[in-house]
Amino acid sequence: MKEKLIVITGPTAVGKTSISISLAKRLDGEIISADSMQIYKYMDIGTAKVTEAEMDGIRHHMVDFIKPDQQFTVADYKENATKIIHSLNKQGKLPIIAGGTGLYINSLAYELNFVDVPPNQKLRDELEAYAEDFGNLALLDKLQGIDPVAASKYTENDIQRIVRAIEITTISGKTYDEYGSNFRAPNHSYDLLMYCLNMDRQKLYERINHRVDIMLQQGLVQEVQSLMDMGYGKDLVSMKAIGYKEIMEYLEGNESYPDTVEKIKKLSRNYAKRQLTWFRRDDRVNWIDVEDYDSMNAIVDHLERDIRKKIY
């Protein structure tokens, strides 16, 4: 018998957290985060990390468990999440993946061979230094020269993904697509239902802008300063998260506060757009337009009925 697995995803600020928690309460579930930044300790405000109060008694996994300077790959995520999914199914509980990191979700929904390529920190440092010296576009051109198919998937702002694609080709001797040839081969281990929340683009952008304002009111600048005081620098993957990198530039005197705020909002909106593009590639995704419902409870009602009908 296949193991049950539910995925609740969508762009940043669309309401995944509250909906997934309400659903878990109704279906005796627990939540496994699929957020690549909420894994880090001390990074709470800028990641919109779920609080104890918001959890409302629902256990959350893969949140707040490693330090900002520790490495954590997609392969690590898949290994850990797979064990949790198996354990929850054995206990008769429903595992609910909640988050917007597409590669984390795809590591479970698909057979992703390329995640087995180990990280090479020396190479990553060299590539990031190259981008610093010659610009992001120059690094993308470097990828274009060795793997044009992979290069076509990214913009010059997708530095981490560009570095990873070059890393994979350099270490494996194969292109990104060749090494990850099963990128679209579904993982048949699970009785899987995937839901992606969405809303009118302009309203989503307004929510994102408002969320950034709230983060700043809650003390994002102070949180970043605290991380810097602990010795966590801009070279870390964790500190390149949207909001953290920009606030560091502001604190170092390289950017004005108003320009920093606007940059964080713009980058967050662009990220939401990329998230939606990512999930539109998967025809198994059930799209939920939150504006079609008069309340959050109505959305959860719909999800509960659909899940009970299809996998119970």
* Domain shared by 77 and 206, yes or no: yes
* Domain shared by 287 and 171, yes or no: no
Task: Determine the Cα–Cα distance for residues 197 and 98; give it in Å rounded to an integer.
Answer: 11
The CATH number of residue 125's host domain is 1.10.20.140
Q: Kindly give the confidence (pLDDT) of every residue in the chain, 312 residues in length, as a single tens digit, with 9 standing for 90 and above.
A: 899 999 999 999 999 999 999 999 999 999 999 999 999 999 999 999 999 999 999 999 999 999 999 988 888 999 999 999 999 999 999 999 999 999 899 999 988 765 567 778 889 989 988 998 898 899 999 999 998 888 887 888 788 889 988 988 888 787 766 665 545 678 889 999 999 999 999 999 999 999 999 999 999 999 999 999 999 998 898 998 999 999 999 999 999 999 999 999 999 999 999 999 989 989 999 999 999 999 999 999 999 999 999 987
* Domain shared by 55 and 188, yes or no: yes
Of 133, 164, 179, the one marking the end of a domain is: 179
* Domain shared by 142 and 213, yes or no: no
* Domain shared by 123 and 225, yes or no: no
Q: Which two tokens stand for residue 37?
A: 């930044």
Considering only CA atoms, which of 99, 123, 133, 110 is closest in space to residue 12? 99
* pLDDT attached to residue 114: 54
* Domain shared by 238 and 259, yes or no: yes
Residue given tokens 């290994």 in the structure block: 79
The CATH number of residue 224's host domain is 3.40.50.300
* Domain shared by 147 and 219, yes or no: no
Of 179, 213, 234, the one marking the end of a domain is: 179
DSSP characters over 1-19: -PEEEEEEE-STTSSHHHH
Is the distance from CB of 61 to CB of 31 less than 8 angstroms?
Answer: yes
* Domain shared by 191 and 272, yes or no: yes
Is the distance from CB of 128 to CB of 39 less than 8 angstroms?
Answer: no
* Domain shared by 133 and 32, yes or no: no
Containing domain of residue 143, as a range? 116-179
Buried b (16+ CB within 10 A) or exposed e, 164-191: bbbbbbeebeebbbebbeeeeeebeebe
* Domain shared by 73 and 205, yes or no: yes
Confidence (pTM): 0.84
| Overall domain count for the chain | 2
Is the distance from CB of 38 to CB of 49 less than 8 angstroms?
Answer: yes
Is the distance from CB of 16 to CB of 98 less than 8 angstroms?
Answer: yes
* Domain shared by 187 and 165, yes or no: no
At 173-218, the pLDDT tens digits run: 877 666 655 456 788 899 999 999 999 999 999 999 999 999 999 9
In angstroms, how far is CA 251 from the centroid of its own chain?
A: 26
* Domain shared by 87 and 221, yes or no: yes
Of 126, 151, 179, the one marking the end of a domain is: 179
